[in-house]
Amino acid sequence: MKEYQAKTDCLADKTILITGAGDGIGKTLALQCAQFGATVILLGKTVKKLEAVYDQIEEIGKQQASILPLDLNGATESHYDDLADTIKREYGKLDALVHNASQLGVLGPFAQIEKSTWDDVIQTNLTAQFMLTKALIPVLSLAKHASTLFTTSSVGNQGRAYWGAYSISKFATEGMMQTLADEFENSTLRFNAINPGATRTGMRANAFPAENTALLKMPADIMPAYLYLLSDDSINVTGQRINAQ
Ligand SMILES: NC(=O)c1ccc[n+]([C@@H]2O[C@H](COP(=O)([O-])OP(=O)(O)OC[C@H]3O[C@@H](n4cnc5c(N)ncnc54)[C@H](OP(=O)(O)O)[C@@H]3O)[C@@H](O)[C@H]2O)c1
């Protein structure tokens, strides 16, 4: 899968929603999806960043992207219901949903986690994913095959000191993925989780400010596993935790 060679048109006719599409891994993924023929819905917090990705997709010259500005930390169920109605009206179906946006919060001793940090991390990394997935299941069900991809971490199935709320949110993310995969077994919906591994982004720099970034993979290096999981080559894969590196 890490060696997956995506065919030029492997995402043609697919509409793919990516959260956190304005920066880091989500940005590179949005550009790759557009390159392989998908119509990409760019969801994120900072409109300027989303507009820059939109412009780069215009330069690729395939399908036009769209921008969905949303702060996952403040959005309510009605925002997600409206978003699902809009996607159904504009595109008729959704072929893939990539839960990529996350917040690191503050790393440090468990006993010093502020309740406000806990709430922010759990809201963005977990509750928002629950509400977005719930709202979009009917629209995903309209596609011939639909892939929902959650983003986990190396601390998402093995706890680590000082990674508190972030690590716990990723454990729960994997739990949500497994619950959905089991519930939708034998359907057209599949659910998997991807662990990007250490990748050179803003979040990584916040977590490890002193490391030598030259040794890290770039977001572009980890794209084959993402493209595999979004393409029809993975229609029989569900309930898996996949390492992109
Ligand atoms: N990089 C790594 O080494 C690594 C390793 C393991 C797992 N991961 C996971 O991979 C995913 C992508 O990480 P990354 O390294 O690319 O992070 P990043 O560079 O920090 O990008 C995160 C993206 O999420 C968006 N976002 C954050 N909070 C949001 C909110 N409340 N509402 C809407 N959008 C929000 C950010 O938007 P703004 O820029 O507008 O704030 C940004 O576009 C995350 O799930 C992360 O946990 C990364």
* Per-residue pLDDT tens digits for 203-217: 999 999 999 999 999
* Per-residue pLDDT tens digits for 79-90: 999 999 999 999
Give catalytic residue positions: 166
- 157 Cα–ligand 1 center, Å: 19
Cα atoms in the Cβ-side hemisphere of radius 13 Å centred on 189:
23
Which of 45, 119, 169, 245 should be mutated for ligand 1, with most atoms under 8 A from CB? 45
For the segment 60-85, the average pLDDT, to the nearest whole number, is 97
Nearest protein CA to atom 2 of ligand 1, as residue: 199
- pLDDT at position 39 is 98
Q: Which long-range contacts (CB under 8 A, 24 or more apart) does 203-209 make?
A: 203/24, 203/102, 203/104, 206/104, 207/104, 207/107
Which of 51, 98, 201 should be mutated for ligand 1, with most atoms under 8 A from CB? 201
Pick the closest to residue 86 from 98, 71, 68 (CA basis): 68
- pLDDT at position 3 is 86
The three-state (H, E, C) secondary structure of 46-79, written as one string: CHHHHHHHHHHHHHHCCCCCEEEECCCCCCCHHH
Q: pTM to 2 decimals? A: 0.98
Ligand 1 pocket residues where CB is under 6 Å: 20, 22-26, 44-46, 49, 71-73, 100-103, 124, 151, 153, 196, 198-199, 201-204
Please determine, for residue 225, whether its predicted confidence score (pLDDT) is greater than 90.
yes
> What is the Cα–Cα distance from 225 to 244, expressed in whole angstroms?
5
Nearest protein CA to atom 25 of ligand 1, as residue: 20
Nearest protein CA to atom 11 of ligand 1, as residue: 100
* Per-residue pLDDT tens digits for 136-189: 999 999 999 999 999 999 999 999 999 999 999 999 999 999 999 999 999 999
Q: Are 188 and 236 in contact (CB under 8 A)?
A: no
- 130 Cα–ligand 1 center, Å: 17
Percent of the chain with pLDDT over 70: 100
- pLDDT at position 68 is 97
Please state the length of the chain.
245
- 100 Cα–ligand 1 center, Å: 6
CATH architecture of 15-231: 3-Layer(aba) Sandwich (3.40)
Query: Where do the structural domains in the chain lie, given as residue ranges?
Result: 15-231
Please determine, for residue 1, whether its predicted confidence score (pLDDT) is greater than 80.
no
Q: Are 53 and 31 in contact (CB under 8 A)?
A: yes
Residues in CB range of 29: below 8 A, 6 or more apart? 18, 21, 98, 100, 219, 223, 226
Please determine, for residue 2, whether its predicted confidence score (pLDDT) is greater than 90.
no
Q: Is 45 left (phi over 0), alpha (psi -120 to 50) or beta?
A: alpha
Name the residue with tokens 């997935």. Answer: 133
For the segment 88-98, the average pLDDT, to the nearest whole number, is 98
* Per-residue pLDDT tens digits for 4-53: 999 999 999 999 999 999 999 999 999 999 999 999 999 999 999 999 99
Which of 49, 50, 102 should be mutated for ligand 1, with most atoms under 8 A from CB? 102
The mean pLDDT value of the chain amounts to 97
Cα atoms in the Cβ-side hemisphere of radius 13 Å centred on 25:
27
- pLDDT at position 17 is 98
Paired strand residues for 12: none
Tokens of 38: 């998908």
> What is the Cα–Cα distance from 138 to 26, expressed in whole angstroms?
24
- pLDDT at position 24 is 98
- The alpha carbon dihedral of 188, 192, 34, 65 has a sign of positive
- 186 Cα–ligand 1 center, Å: 32
- Nearest-atom number in ligand 1 for the CA of 198 is 3
